[in-house]
Structure 1
Amino acid sequence: MTVGPWTTATIAGLKRPIARSVQLRLDVADRVDHLPGQHYVVRLTAEDGYTAQRSYSVASAPSDPLVELFVERLDDGEVSTYLADVAEPGDTLEVRGPIGGWFAWDGETPALLVGGGTGVVPLVAMVRHAVATDRLDLLRVAVSARTLAELPYADELLAAGAVVVLTREAHGVRPPARLTAVDLLPLWEEGQTAFVCGSSGFAESASQLLVGMGFAPSAVRVERFGPSAA
């Protein structure tokens, strides 16, 4: 898998769609095409030479001319606090990517996407790619969050037919609850690869559910994120 070198990216757009987060649209110099599920590293350098870097999944489809990153602001996050509180359109960042080959959808085979909290971000890239290539029929999606207001890209996920489970509020006729095998079983199809992304606890629980349903462990690909997953 080709990994792009360190390069510069200009912030072409910046939004804060949900609390404690920032959505960045980056114009990456000498950009290398990415696969849905891959990530970029953002590196910051202080005046004294101190550096801090953090990996963020790409939310945009490969066909998007810009690279979209979604960043959750963590109080002790050296990079996330800068991106959420300080960065502005027109600023230049140092980035490297795309990175990752295991947690990447090829766009041609059936997949079951299971995400918690900000762990839905790489799955959104997969959904967007499927929409762009008219292959949404290949994907089945289930996501979990504390509340709908805290779920990144909620409208797009719902439009794609995602099963949405909320742990702190009701969703439709469903009371607050965690994701269960009952939610996932109707989404199963022959030949699927499962992509699971979320906090360590969420990823472990969801992976166990899938293996319990009959998925081979080798068919369950996991990406663990920070503390935001439900």
Structure 2
Amino acid sequence: MAVAWYRARLVESRPQTPTARTLVLRAPGWPGHLPGQHVDVRLTADDGYQAVRSYSLAAPTDGDRIELGVQSVPDGEVSPYLAEDLPAGAEVEVRGPLGNWFVWRPGGTDPVLLVAGGAGIVPLTAMVRARGEAGSPAPFHLLYSVRGPDSLWYRDHLAEDTPGLDVRIVYTRTAPPGTSRPPGRVTAADIPGVPAGRVYVCGPTDFVEAVDDLLIDLGRDPATIRTERFG
């Protein structure tokens, strides 16, 4: 069955980094979604030209309200407009929810390992927030790799002292003062020793492939690893 398109109106836009924003939209008739799913966004120009791009949902289901994480890509056709120029009240079209592989369903109690590279934190944040809303006892361990402090998304959510949620941030280029780990790419030593459970890895293709290799080298069962990549 074809997935429907919905008209969605921008009600709020919040900065995350100098080049990334959270877009909050209302899409009447939205059927709900699972944490980890995404949508297609379609823009239509005055001359009828259309462009479609995929964006991850950053929050659990909340009626007809959806949150997207958008990273402005230099010379991009869609992301700079969404992140920098889309005015409040403007309408776009969204199709979804999409993707049933890369999802976490509240209700499980097994430990979960989340590994994010850059903007790959968006769908994983939806999982973290869904866990909190559901009061899930499942232990969550988040390893988040970013270039530097200015590239950090969702500072408030990650800074919360949430029981059962362990957050580790790895800086690859510039670390803030007082950080004991020197800047550098994620290594096996950075990956938490989490008991058997589901693993979700999201980020740029090279990052996801490198982390996937590290996990397997550490003895993780490939069947427990779910990945989503971009770029």
Would you say same fold, with TM above 0.5? yes
Asked if the contact 2:28–2:64 (Cα under 8 Å) also holds between the matched residues in 1, the reply is no
Select the residue among 214, 220, 225 that pairs with 1:215: 220
Letter in 1 for 2:40: V
**Poorly superposed stretches of 4+, deviation over 3 Å:** none
Aligned equivalent of 2:5: 6
Provide the TM-score with structure 2 as the length reference.
0.90
Letter in 1 for 2:175: A
CA offsets 1:142-185 (integer angstroms, 9 cap, x no match): 11000122021133224343110001123522211221111214
Select the residue among 163, 166, 174 that pairs with 1:161: 166
Asked if the contact 2:32–2:63 (Cα under 8 Å) also holds between the matched residues in 1, the reply is no
Question: Which piece of structure 1 moves more, 37-46 or 158-167?
Answer: 158-167
Letter in 2 for 1:121: V
Asked if the contact 1:35–1:104 (Cα under 8 Å) also holds between the matched residues in 2, the reply is yes
Asked if the contact 2:72–2:80 (Cα under 8 Å) also holds between the matched residues in 1, the reply is yes
Asked if the contact 1:3–1:97 (Cα under 8 Å) also holds between the matched residues in 2, the reply is no
Aligned residue pairs total: 223
Mapped pair 1:44 → 2:49: no
Aligned equivalent of 2:150: 149
Aligned equivalent of 1:200: 205
Cα pair distance change 1:136/1:203, threshold 3 Å: farther
C-alpha RMSD of the superposition: 1.7
1:97, CA displacement in angstroms? 0.9
Asked if the contact 2:5–2:93 (Cα under 8 Å) also holds between the matched residues in 1, the reply is yes
Asked if the contact 1:13–1:26 (Cα under 8 Å) also holds between the matched residues in 2, the reply is yes
Letter in 1 for 2:67: E
CA offsets 1:90-114 (integer angstroms, 9 cap, x no match): 1111111110000011122432100
Aligned equivalent of 1:105: 104
CA offsets 1:74-100 (integer angstroms, 9 cap, x no match): 122211121122211111111111100
Asked if the contact 1:36–1:58 (Cα under 8 Å) also holds between the matched residues in 2, the reply is yes
Asked if the contact 1:3–1:98 (Cα under 8 Å) also holds between the matched residues in 2, the reply is no
Cα pair distance change 1:20/1:136, threshold 3 Å: farther
Aligned equivalent of 2:189: 182
Asked if the contact 2:44–2:51 (Cα under 8 Å) also holds between the matched residues in 1, the reply is yes
1:22, CA displacement in angstroms? 2.0
1:4, CA displacement in angstroms? 4.3
Distance in 1 between residues matched to 2:208 and 2:145, nearest whole Å: 11
1:78 is paired with a residue of what secondary structure?
Answer: coil
Alignment of 1:76-115 (within 5 A): 76-107=75-106, 108=108, 109-115=110-116
Identity %: 40
Aligned equivalent of 1:123: 124
Aligned equivalent of 1:31: 30
Asked if the contact 1:120–1:152 (Cα under 8 Å) also holds between the matched residues in 2, the reply is yes
Gaps in structure 1 of 5+ consecutive residues: none
1:63, CA displacement in angstroms? 4.1
1:136, CA displacement in angstroms? 5.7
Mapped pair 1:224 → 2:229: yes
Asked if the contact 2:29–2:64 (Cα under 8 Å) also holds between the matched residues in 1, the reply is no
Distance in 2 between residues matched to 1:131 and 1:60, nearest whole Å: 11
Letter in 1 for 2:101: W
2:78 is paired with a residue of what secondary structure?
Answer: helix
Letter in 2 for 1:202: F
Distance in 1 between residues matched to 2:73 and 2:30, nearest whole Å: 28
